[in-house]
Amino acid sequence: MELLMAIVVGILFMCATYLMLSKSILRIIIGTGLLSHGAHLLILTMGGLKGDSVPLLSDKVASYVDPLPQALILTAIVISFGVTSFLLVLAYRTYQELGTDDMEEMRGTKTNE
């Protein structure tokens, strides 16, 4: 199971890197979202996957999963949602002002500065 998760994390990182290197702002935003999801899966995988174990410690439970990675991932999901929404609003406003989402066209020329 860990090997499969590691492969999925690698594919997510690969796709995110490809999208973030493009010239379109929307692709860059999607790439950052994929990168954050890959980081979430990486933290979850490194925290250990123990099948039927619960993230609770009590007298009745023999084995348990450490709840710290799950709490970190939950916090990271909220933060990545906020960052993604901010980037989408910023991209929309930039498109309204300049009429393009191409990074090369947004750079402008020396006469526009």
Q: How far apart are CA 63 and CA 80, in angstroms?
A: 31
Q: Can you tell me the mean pLDDT for 8-19?
A: 96
Rounded to a whole number, what is the distance in angstroms from the first to the last CA of the chain? 54
Token pair 């406003």 is found at 93
State how far the alpha carbon of 48 is from the alpha carbons of 42, 45, 66, 69, in Å: 10, 5, 8, 9
pLDDT of 26 higher than 70: yes
- Quick check: 112 pLDDT over 60? no
Average pLDDT of the chain, as a whole number = 87
Q: What is the pTM of this model?
A: 0.81
Confidence band for 37, pLDDT divided at 50, 70 and 90: very high
